[in-house]
Structure 1
Amino acid sequence: MSESFPRLSARTRRFTLGVPRGFTISPDGGRVVFLRTKSGTDPVTCLWELDTETHVERLVVDPRTLQSDEENLPPEERARRERSREAAGGVVAYTTDTAVTTASFALSGALHVTDLASGATRRLDTPGAVIDPRLSPDGRHVSYVTGGALRVQDLVTGDDRALAEPESGTVTYGLAEFIAAEELDRMRGHWWSPSGDALLVERSDEAPVQEWHIADPANPGRPPVAQRYPAAGTPNAATELFVLGLDGSRVAVPYDEEYLVTAAWDSHALSIVTLTRDQRTMRLFTVDPATGASTLVREDTDPAWVDIITGVPAHLDDGSLVWVANGEGGHRLFVGDRAVTPPTLQVRAVLDVDHDSVLFSASGDPTEIQLWTWDGHSLLPVSTRSGVFSGRMAGGVGVLTEQSLDDEGVSTTVVRRDGMAVPIPSYAERPGLDLRVSIGRAGKRELATAVVLPSWYESGSGKLPVLMDPYGGPHGQRVLNRRGAFLESQWFAEQGFAVVVADGRGTPGRGTAWERAVLNDLATPALEDQIDALQGVAEQYPDDLDLSRVAIRGWSFGGFLAALAVLRRPDVFHAAVAGAPVTDWRLYDTGYTERYLGHPDEQPDVYDKSSLFADADKLERPLLLVHGLADDNVVAAHTLRLSSALLSAGRPHSVLPLSGVTHMTPQEVVAENLLLLQVEFLKKALG
């Protein structure tokens, strides 16, 4: 008997196991190193290498042969995986030297180094559990963090020493602080110099950050876990930068802004990017590593916020700066001082710079993410089919990943210099669903919308209850031209729903004005756009949608939107499942919340307008609140306080607490039964 979709989705981590990822191309383009599990249900990630000339693929590191214990992760590593939404185990991250001859990685807190040619792997002695090991460019040293200290080990002599040790229990060297990892797309806190004789290192002190406690009510004998959480309007961690030399030198790199967005150290410059607390001014500096003195290279400002685009700053071989900035209503690629992309092409990320060529992803149509290169003279499309693409490029060799509605899973291809395509197979499981998805535009705002119908449904044979299935938050997107985006939606459709997925204002791919329409109001535009999409789809499918039975479900911001919908518009929405919802934005973090709503002390009315509490007495529809009690991102207090407000108002509702579950809900049984319970609740609520 085959497994049900909910169980298979849970076992496969939503069908991500077995998919190649984490690519590194050798400088000559002859080899590609990557991560992949051995099957679509195997959660242990291995390290592999492909020879691009012979097409031979080789298993380099299998963690099971190294006696790795995935249950014994240090707390800092568990937190890092939660921030990066890492669902697998094994070698989930690695670094190499510049020549891509050696790799380093951590397994269960133990430091390992592998010779890629032979596959010989050795475990190195360290004084404690290891976080984020990084090889020096020359492959001579490996840096890592343990116990808050930044340490370096000489791979030839075995000498291991601390370059910086924490002055107190709230200090760490070499790690990204919570806001950087959760909201600024920065997962690292130390960077090697090109010559391998020094590192740029972040010092983070969480002492200013308020302390919260994450309890486990199901196990009253366990003490609550203390957590520093920078809620909106409260202090962030204090961050500093230092250049630490292997010779013991220490040079401060001062900066005045609240946030360190990123840093980069190449043969042209040591660069840092900073952002003010209100996120309206971003500055790029070059730094003299000998003195710490910085020189302003460029400053980008915006009356709403400046967007963070990954992959920059970077440099061409001639030293020209590669950057992405807003211009004429679009996110545009700049080389030097010149915009080389039109404002109609929304640049999403710079993926690689290979000598004089830039590989980047961008959208003309917001439902597509295409690959382009700038070769110093002109823009050239890399991807030519409809879909969602990503990739890497080095040594004239490219790695392309492709997803679409037409094909199942993720397709990965290595494109050699001679144009020959070499596939890297995926071992992902097949979901076993017949997708019936139509992507188009709906409503007066022409919202990107997907309509998902049951595979067995005959149009006009009887109207279906409707399930809105949004994320709906700014910079988050659901409607993309790839099958993986709609697997859960299709499964819900198979249970008898017409599922509608819509991306409203604030979502990427339609320009800066569209994204900034949510400034100072995270509630009204998001809710208006879901209603607009629903009404637009109903006009397109007049014989298929029953608007007297409309439900909505969502997680995180989607959970907030689902609860908001039944509270403020019970005339449209008749039931809701709100998973891990943000209910009061004063309880959410600084980096995300203040970007859109400002400081709560300066704009309390803005926060009140986007809160759910004032609407608690309006509830007249079935509402199921679901929350993991171990969630350290959207803490359970959000749901518990809303439940208290509803109880005080005498409004019946349901609460499903998930003991020991974080924001990711990775546990198989929990993930499976959550889907089943949602269907049961929605069918009962809609009659």
Structure 2
Amino acid sequence: MSARVGGPEPFPRRKARTRGFTLGQPRSFALSPDGSRLAFLRAPAGDDPVNALWVLDVAEGRERLVLDPRDLGSLDAEVPEAERARRERARERAGGVTTFACDRAFRLAALALGGRLFAVDLDAEGGREVPVEGPCFDPRPDPAGARVAYVRGRELRVVELASGEDRALAGEEDPAVSWGLAEFVAAEEMGRDRGHWWAPDGRAVVACRVDEREVPVWHIADPADPWRAPRAVRYPAAGSANARVSLHVLGLDGSAVEVSWDREAFPYLVRVGWEEGGPLTLVVQSRDQRRVLVLAADPASGASGVLRDDASPTWLEIVDGVPRWLGGRLVWTVEDLEADARRIVVDGEPWTPPDLRVRRVAGVAGGRVVFQASAAEEPIEAHVYAADAEGVERLSGGPGLHDAPAAAGDVVVLVSQGPADELPVARVLRGGRVAATIASNAERPGFLAAPAFARSRERGIPYALLLPEPPGAKAPFPVLLDPYGGPHLQRVWRASFPFLEARWFAEQGFAVLVADGRGTTAGGLAWEKAVHLDLVGPAVEDQVEALLDAAERHPGVLDLSRVAIRGWSFGGYLAAACLLRRPDVFRAAVAGAPLTDPALYDTHYTERYLGLPQEHPEAYERSSLLPDAGKLERPLLLVHGMADDNVHVAHTLRLSRALLEAGRPHAVLPLSGVTHMTPQEVVAENLLRLQLDFLRRALGIAGTERPASHPEPRRP
């Protein structure tokens, strides 16, 4: 454990100051098409939130600072509202350069700082400001690097870099209509955070037109600042109207062509891509998410044709990284129900074996498809593979969590977390061999979490157990379950970095259990879809199963009379559900930013699992915590950011109201000015301590805070 002036710094403070030890890590990787150069972002120190732009020459292994935003004046003075929303959707914790886009030759990068547009020469150092009126958002250079498309307010514009001529491509006076932006559910739920794309020849921009006039208006207010007017946002709650999204090819010559498809049957625009040598490709999805079409569009007429038509009796998951094109062939993923896995297909032919569960596609490199997947027998590990028609090769080595954020030419960027890694390690592979290791400026935790892993005997639920090691610690230990437990996120990985906070709680005297039950990505298709029409019931059952399995494996170690649970977002939802529905097992819960009434959450997420509330009211009733309010028997702490525009504070307030009406004592901690994230250092630091204090009091545990610094924690 590192020390600062005045003595050792407590873990909650270090974690808050370093944003979870992420500041200073290299990130946001982009490779040139031939793989010869890599651009990325990195802050200069582990407690510095200001990212700079760097370029790595892959052949030489030499890094070069291209742009330090501190050299350009104020950083975030006029961050546009659209950029603030993007950062929230992306869970962005840092500042400075947060995104950038490059031209085809990888000579020019465009980026925005404080709403100002900058063009950066990647062969030199520093950037020049491109004068534009008003705050700039999401600037993207054309393939030739001659001009930049960007969004100002709700209109899409193009500026010529040589002449400075700046003109609007599309825009409307109605404030509920925007051009070139991604709507809320696209950015929050679909992984599409952009709304405009250059044509490969640079003569047109493909842009989304988003009409939110029918989307309900919600108001977000902070009672701590009563003189400020509430902020109005368009929020499509389950069963309500979505934004109407259309796609248009906007020529620089003033022409405009709308891309046509059946938008009534397929209202969700999931993906758009236009690669050199490939067609304008889009993916659209039905509202019930049971059908997905891959379309190729004619940019001249707007007519589209179906390349694929996939269907599911439950829902079709959106997979990151597809569609792509490989030598004129379509790269896609399919759900193989017989194999219980997602597989990569190229023009319909499987390129991955049935025992590999594909998680995401990184790109095409050296004529092969690079992707991340887990072997069916090892769901707590993820590796990077390359596939062609002849077979599959694993590129990552050693146990752990490996991913490939970028791939091009014969180069793959590999980011790895293993049991012996204090921090993620970023390497550049060229031809399958390590060409460079990208330095990290992140502060090292100074300890390894050292969790022990197991799978429950009945359902095979993967879990990690961390036992305390303070001086004089004696079993049995009170137990703290620390899950997320919901779709799209997995907590149990064979690595140290994901468990740093859990190790700190273990050093406070708890046996900490982290389990990934049904509905998470820790299993096959049937595992993920076990929550269909019942979002939280199976998750509660699986937390209990993992707990009892761990207790059975370690007799006398876990004190089942003192079991608590904590979580945030879906984890907060699960924590509250466990306490309300299984008071025979759980004695206390901390529920942070919990979903409590699925009817209040957004369309795309909620309807994927529960259907429309008008068609499946019983599923919404089953998944709501409000009817369970009268069952509360144990201490419950509800925590929620008042400025949360994702899981609105109404979730906590409505559960609190139901508990009050049922005469059930509970505690509510409102976080003024806090969104769904808690990036504020003081809030993040003290929130950990407040949770610890609440759990100790609820379970009758004495003690003072201890450092999470033991070099070799007790292994179960």
Q: What TM bracket, shorter-length normalisation?
A: over 0.9
Residue in structure 1 matching 2:451, options 431, 434, 437: 437
| Aligned-partner residue type, residue 400 of structure 1 | L
1:222-280, CA deviations, whole angstroms, 9 ceiling, x for partnerless residues?
11111111000000011111000111110001222110000110121110000000000
Q: Does 1:629 align with 2:642?
A: yes
Residue in structure 2 matching 1:131, options 107, 119, 137: 137
Identity percentage of aligned residues: 54
Deviates more, 1:21-30 or 1:287-296: 21-30
Counterpart in 2 of 1:478? Answer: 491
Residue in structure 2 matching 1:232, options 238, 255, 258: 238
Residue in structure 1 matching 2:54, options 48, 73, 83: 48
**2:422 and 2:69 mapped to 1: Cα distance?**
28
Counterpart in 2 of 1:357? Answer: 368
Counterpart in 2 of 1:605? Answer: 618
TM alignment of 1:296-307, pairs within 5 A: 296-307=306-317
**1:339 and 1:578 mapped to 2: Cα distance?**
43
Aligned residues: 685
| Aligned-partner residue type, residue 454 of structure 2 | G
Counterpart in 1 of 2:288? Answer: 278
Counterpart in 2 of 1:655? Answer: 668
Counterpart in 2 of 1:247? Answer: 253
Residue in structure 2 matching 1:337, options 348, 353, 357: 348
Counterpart in 2 of 1:180? Answer: 186
1:569-595, CA deviations, whole angstroms, 9 ceiling, x for partnerless residues?
110000000000011000000010000
**1:509 and 1:496 mapped to 2: Cα distance?**
28
Residue in structure 2 matching 1:263, options 261, 266, 272: 272
Counterpart in 1 of 2:550? Answer: 537
**1:166 and 1:686 mapped to 2: Cα distance?**
58
Where 1:539 maps in the other structure, the secondary structure is: helix
Query: Normalising by the residue count of structure 2, what TM-score does the alignment of the two structures yield?
Result: 0.94
Residue in structure 2 matching 1:320, options 329, 333, 342: 329
Shift in Å, 1:457:
7.1
Counterpart in 2 of 1:161? Answer: 167
Counterpart in 2 of 1:212? Answer: 218
**1:419 and 1:465 mapped to 2: Cα distance?**
47
**1:136 and 1:62 mapped to 2: Cα distance?**
23
Counterpart in 1 of 2:107? Answer: 101
Where 1:673 maps in the other structure, the secondary structure is: helix
1:160-187, CA deviations, whole angstroms, 9 ceiling, x for partnerless residues?
1110012411111011100000001111
Shift in Å, 1:355:
5.0
**Contact residue 130 and residue 144 of structure 1 kept, 8 A:** yes
1:380-409, CA deviations, whole angstroms, 9 ceiling, x for partnerless residues?
111121111112222212221111122110
Counterpart in 2 of 1:575? Answer: 588
1:36-95, CA deviations, whole angstroms, 9 ceiling, x for partnerless residues?
111111000000011223322111100000003324312111111000111100111000
**2:697 and 2:423 mapped to 1: Cα distance?**
33
Superposed CA RMSD in Å reads: 1.3
Shift in Å, 1:105:
0.5
Shift in Å, 1:436:
3.0
Shift in Å, 1:458:
8.1
Where 1:670 maps in the other structure, the secondary structure is: helix
| Aligned-partner residue type, residue 263 of structure 1 | V
Q: Structure 1 unaligned runs (5+)?
A: none
Shift in Å, 1:117:
0.6
| Aligned-partner residue type, residue 11 of structure 1 | R
**Contact residue 212 and residue 229 of structure 1 kept, 8 A:** yes
**1:679 and 1:227 mapped to 2: Cα distance?**
34
Counterpart in 2 of 1:446? Answer: 460
**2:668 and 2:242 mapped to 1: Cα distance?**
32
**Contact residue 452 and residue 493 of structure 1 kept, 8 A:** yes
TM alignment of 1:538-557, pairs within 5 A: 538-557=551-570
Counterpart in 1 of 2:442? Answer: 428
Shift in Å, 1:377:
2.1
Residue in structure 1 matching 2:75, options 69, 83, 102: 69
Counterpart in 2 of 1:585? Answer: 598
Shift in Å, 1:433:
3.5
**Contact residue 419 and residue 450 of structure 2 kept, 8 A:** no
Counterpart in 1 of 2:512? Answer: 499
**Contact residue 40 and residue 427 of structure 1 kept, 8 A:** yes
1:582-633, CA deviations, whole angstroms, 9 ceiling, x for partnerless residues?
1100000001000000111111111111111111111110000000000000
Counterpart in 1 of 2:124? Answer: 118
Q: Does 1:292 align with 2:302?
A: yes
Where 1:77 maps in the other structure, the secondary structure is: helix
**1:8 and 1:443 mapped to 2: Cα distance?**
38
**Contact residue 73 and residue 109 of structure 1 kept, 8 A:** yes
| Aligned-partner residue type, residue 81 of structure 1 | R
Where 1:262 maps in the other structure, the secondary structure is: strand
**Contact residue 207 and residue 249 of structure 2 kept, 8 A:** yes
**2:617 and 2:432 mapped to 1: Cα distance?**
60
**1:29 and 1:313 mapped to 2: Cα distance?**
20
Deviates more, 1:665-674 or 1:503-512: 503-512
Q: 1:264 to 1:458 in 2, by over 3 A?
A: farther
Where 1:561 maps in the other structure, the secondary structure is: helix
**1:418 and 1:316 mapped to 2: Cα distance?**
20
**1:680 and 1:250 mapped to 2: Cα distance?**
61
Counterpart in 1 of 2:195? Answer: 189
1:488-509, CA deviations, whole angstroms, 9 ceiling, x for partnerless residues?
1111111100000000001114
**Contact residue 624 and residue 653 of structure 1 kept, 8 A:** yes
Shift in Å, 1:434:
4.1
**2:581 and 2:111 mapped to 1: Cα distance?**
49
**Contact residue 208 and residue 236 of structure 1 kept, 8 A:** yes
**Contact residue 313 and residue 321 of structure 1 kept, 8 A:** yes
Shift in Å, 1:3:
1.8
Counterpart in 2 of 1:30? Answer: 36
